[in-house]
Amino acid sequence: MNPEAETAGTPVLEMFGVDKAFAGNPVVRQVDFSCRAGEIHGLVGENGAGKSTLMKILAGVHRPDAGRIILNGREVGFRNYGEAREAGVCVVYQELSLLPQMSVAENIFMGRWRRGRSGLVDWSGIRREAGLALEKVGLGGLDVNRLVSSLPMAARQLIEVAKALLYEPRAVVFDEPTTTLTGEEAARLFGLMRELKSQGKGIIFISHRLKEILEACDRITVMKDGERVVTGPAADFTENRLIYHMIGRDLTQIFPPKPKRLPDRIVFSCSAPAPGGEKIELSLREGEVLGIGGLNGQGQVPFLETLFGLGPGAEISVRGVRRRVKSPREAMRAGVTLIPEDRNGQSSFPILSIRNNISSASLARLSVAGFLETWREKREVRKIAEALQIRMTSPAQEVRFLSGGNVQKTVFARWLLADPKAMVLLSPTSGIDVGTKQQIYRLIRELAAGGVAIIVLTGDMVELIGLCDRVLVMYGGRVGGELSGSELTEENIMRISVGRAGGEGAA
């Protein structure tokens, strides 16, 4: 590798007219993208804007339907990540690719076992080289025999970088590397990125923290709905301008206004065992929307499911009536519904009609002595479908023929028809377009105003801050902290998410 040969400013990497669709849904559309040698190029966009897919195409994980990729002036067509890595494109993923039960050295050399003269793995050579690789990322002195599981997240992230650098890449993609890091740790990572930049490498940096993007990057590209919206020097952007490009309008317009003052009346409270051991108690006031945040897998989903009678069940009180719920049926009888996250259509009956989908949770209410009153079913389904503006040819249409946003509306319709007094929503807007999101936010606010207790789990910071009156951030199966009003900021949520509630380090 000869860094001098690469003059800063020439593109290391270019993509032209890249298209990619999954099952007929375009996720990347006609995207041009380039990264120069000695540049940190920021890539931002909402969840589902196509950033990760674009990077996966670059790294050979997905093959593009159309378009060209040029690396160092040569057109390439990677068939898998291995090929991309050998050619000089490396990705440092947010979800780490390290095996926790193996040592640092084993992880760094995973899949590239050097063999000695005997034909066996040359362990001493691997340990030595692993040590050198760690020095390059500022982890010199770390024992390469330690298990990855014993190291804090920040160190793991750097090991991941060390592993990537072993391939002497021309371009390195950092896919949300700072999500799990504190400000200090992230700053260290940025130092490393700058060093790689000074070596003439092209760095692509994906993050949801816009402040970081603005500070660390030379140029920024914004994506929205699979398309590239704008590319320009970082100096031309502000946080608000980035958000404007990301969602196509100002942030204030997408969320309905929050109530200035909430009445003191408690409409819902519960006490449920949390995965972290102790019980979580919470109560909601009339009109309140409670957000549940935190990194993935901190026990949010199991905890919220107990409110719906799954797992160990919970002690709940709906408008003053206390009871214990141990099954979804009991929860529904108590007026609690849970809208599960839509994973591959798991939250609907794809082959049943829209009408049957919507009425399926209200069969008891719609029947007399076991017989359905179909006229009543038809009337109520039509009413709610109109209220939610579900676009369909007829209520007899099968749900699998609807678009994602409309499917999600039928899911809402099902649980609304069941006349809930409290709703638990798991990632209610994941994977749907901004327009539908906006409708759903408004609906959530209207329901809350109508006295329905609303608990929303979401991994989307913008949503937590824009939609919720109060946010509980979970960490390690417990409530790490509670935020509301002016404390409700990305920094605070993140700080609690990584277990630094009081400012003192946990790791």
Partner 1 sequence: MSERGRDLRIYLPVYAIVLAVYIFAGWRSASFFTWNNNVNLFGRVTPLILAGLAQTVVILTGGIDLSVGSMISVASVTAASLPYVDTPANLVLWTLIPPLAGLAMGAVNGLLIAKWPFPPFIVTLASSSVYLGLALYILREPGGEVSLDATLVSSGKIQGIPIPLLLMLAAVAAAHLLLSRTRIGRSIYALGGNETLAIQSGIRPDRVKFFVYSLSGLFSGLAGAYLSAWMFAGDPLVGEPYVMNSIAVAVIGGSSLMGGRGGVLGVVGGAYIFYLINNILNLLGINAFYQYIAKGAILIAALAVSAPDLLQRLGLGRRGSE
Q: Which residues bind partner 1 (CB under 8 A)?
A: 308, 328-329, 332, 338, 340, 346-353, 355-356, 359-361, 363-364, 367, 370-372, 374, 393-394, 396-398, 400-401, 414, 418
Q: How far is the CB of 77 from partner 1 (least distance, A)?
A: 26
Q: How far is the CB of 322 from partner 1 (least distance, A)?
A: 21
Q: Is 407 exposed, middle or buried (0-12, 13-18, 19+ CB in 10 A)?
A: buried
Q: How far is the CB of 81 from partner 1 (least distance, A)?
A: 28
Which residues, listed in sequence order, are joined to residue 336 by a DSSP beta bridge? 422
Q: Please, which residue, 154 or 455, has the CB nearer to partner 1?
A: 455
Strand runs (DSSP E) across 286-320, as ranges? 289-293, 314-318
Q: How far is the CB of 353 from partner 1 (least distance, A)?
A: 7
Q: Please, which residue, 120 or 369, has the CB nearer to partner 1?
A: 369
DSSP H or E segment with residue 156: helix 153-165
Q: How far is the CB of 419 from partner 1 (least distance, A)?
A: 12
Q: Please, which residue, 113 or 401, has the CB nearer to partner 1?
A: 401
Q: How far is the CB of 371 from partner 1 (least distance, A)?
A: 5
Name all contacts of 344-353 with Cβ < 8 Å and 24+ positions apart. 345/400, 345/407, 347/407, 347/408, 347/411, 348/399, 348/407, 348/410, 348/411, 349/399, 350/398, 350/399, 350/400, 351/398, 351/399, 351/400, 352/398, 352/399, 353/395, 353/396, 353/397, 353/398, 353/399
Q: Please, which residue, 377 or 469, has the CB nearer to partner 1?
A: 377
Are 258 and 469 in contact by the 8 Å Cβ rule? The answer is: yes
Q: What is the DSSP letter of 115?
A: B
Angstrom distances, CA of residue 394 to CA of 345, 381, 403, 418: 20, 11, 14, 21
Are 104 and 145 in contact by the 8 Å Cβ rule? The answer is: yes
Q: How far is the CB of 319 from partner 1 (least distance, A)?
A: 20
Place of tokens 């935020």: 483
Strand runs (DSSP E) across 10-73, as ranges? 11-22, 25-36, 39-45, 66-71
Which residues, listed in sequence order, are joined to residue 222 by a DSSP beta bridge? 44, 230
Q: Please, which residue, 370 or 485, has the CB nearer to partner 1?
A: 370
Q: How far is the CB of 33 from partner 1 (least distance, A)?
A: 32
Q: Please, which residue, 157 or 356, has the CB nearer to partner 1?
A: 356
Are 89 and 58 in contact by the 8 Å Cβ rule? The answer is: yes
Q: Please, which residue, 145 or 403, has the CB nearer to partner 1?
A: 403
Which residues, listed in sequence order, are joined to residue 31 by a DSSP beta bridge? 18
First-to-final CA distance of the chain:
37
Q: Please, which residue, 57 or 331, has the CB nearer to partner 1?
A: 331
Rounded CA gap, 485 and 492, in Å? Answer: 12
The tokens for 100 are: 């926790």
Q: Please, which residue, 66 or 363, has the CB nearer to partner 1?
A: 363
Q: How far is the CB of 244 from partner 1 (least distance, A)?
A: 35
Q: Please, which residue, 121 or 396, has the CB nearer to partner 1?
A: 396
Tally the C-alpha atoms within 13 A of residue 453's C-alpha that lie toward its C-beta.
24
Q: Please, which residue, 300 or 359, has the CB nearer to partner 1?
A: 359
Q: How far is the CB of 207 from partner 1 (least distance, A)?
A: 35
Q: Please, which residue, 343 or 442, has the CB nearer to partner 1?
A: 343
Q: How far is the CB of 230 from partner 1 (least distance, A)?
A: 34
Residue of 344, 439, 462 lying closest to 44 (CA atoms) = 462
Residue of 344, 294, 284 lying closest to 470 (CA atoms) = 284
Q: How far is the CB of 340 from partner 1 (least distance, A)?
A: 7
The tokens for 166 are: 């072993």
Say how far residue 245 (Cα) sits from the centre of its chain.
19
Rounded CA gap, 473 and 231, in Å? Answer: 34
Rounded CA gap, 225 and 245, in Å? Answer: 11
